[in-house]
Each structure stands twice: as C-alpha cells, then as structure tokens.
C-alpha cells in the first residue's frame, strides 16, 4: 500500500493545525478525515521532520530484525528434510473403505 502523504507532509499538516487553524479546515484542505488527522497526531505529534526520518529508519530496522528472528526460530531445512511429508499414506484406509463401505475415513 502506497502512503498518500510522506512523514514530512504529515508533520506540516499537524503544524498548520497547531498554528491556530481549525482542525476541520485543515482536514478539508488536505482531503483527510478528522479521524485520520488524529491518528497522524498521535503518531507524529510534536515531531520534527528529522525525527520522522529517524522513526522510519528505526521501524525498517525493527522489521528486518523481526524477520531474522522468525527465520532463526523456524526449523532448518536439514531437519525438515529428515522428516519428509509422505503422500498417499491413507491407501490402507481406502482399501478398507472398499471392503467395509465406511466413507468416514476417505482421503
């Protein structure tokens, strides 16, 4: 999903409202809802553009670290290769279905 506004633009929108303009006027001019404006305020309120760049960098780094951790927690491919998933293990049940006519154990 592509963001509509950059971090710097969002901070500029918040500063417009902080300078004394009505929230409704600022929202109307930029084409956002008041709920979106307050969401931006909760995330970017009191920040400068340099702070927003640093926040973005930290969020990116955090995402990379989470991905690395998830990869470390997954079993390695070598272990997974030792225990292959066997296909067609229900053949014995299929033959018993033909004999007994019990369809509950169909594969």
Concatenated DSSP letters of the chain: ---SS-HHHHHHHHHHHHTT--HHHHHHHHT--HHHHHHHHHHHTT--HHHHHHHHHHHHHHHHHHHHHHHHHSPPHHHHHHSPPPS-TTHHHHHHHHHH--GGG--
Look up the domain containing 62 and give its range. 7-77
Asked if residue 96 is part of any domain, the answer here is no
pLDDT tens sequence across 54-89:
988 999 999 999 999 888 877 665 566 666 666 655
Asked if residue 55 is part of any domain, the answer here is yes
Asked if residue 62 is part of any domain, the answer here is yes
Asked if residue 2 is part of any domain, the answer here is no
Task: Answer with the residue of higher pLDDT: 32 or 91.
Answer: 32
Number of domains in the chain: 1
Asked if residue 12 is part of any domain, the answer here is yes
Is the pLDDT assigned to residue 103 strictly greater than 90? no
Asked if residue 93 is part of any domain, the answer here is no
């Amino acid at each position: 999903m592509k963001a509509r506004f950059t971090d710097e633009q969002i901070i500029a929108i918040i500063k417009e409202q902080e300078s004394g303009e009505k929230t409704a006027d600022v929202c109307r001019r930029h084409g956002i809802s008041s709920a979106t404006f307050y969401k931006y305020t909760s995330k970017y309120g009191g920040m400068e553009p340099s702070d927003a760049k640093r926040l973005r960098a930290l969020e990116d780094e955090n995402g990379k670290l989470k991905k690395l951790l998830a990869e470390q927690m997954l079993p390695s491919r070598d272990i997974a290769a030792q225990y292959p998933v066997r296909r067609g293990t229900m053949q014995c049940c299929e033959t018993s279905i033909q004999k007994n006519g019990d369809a509950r154990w169909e594969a």
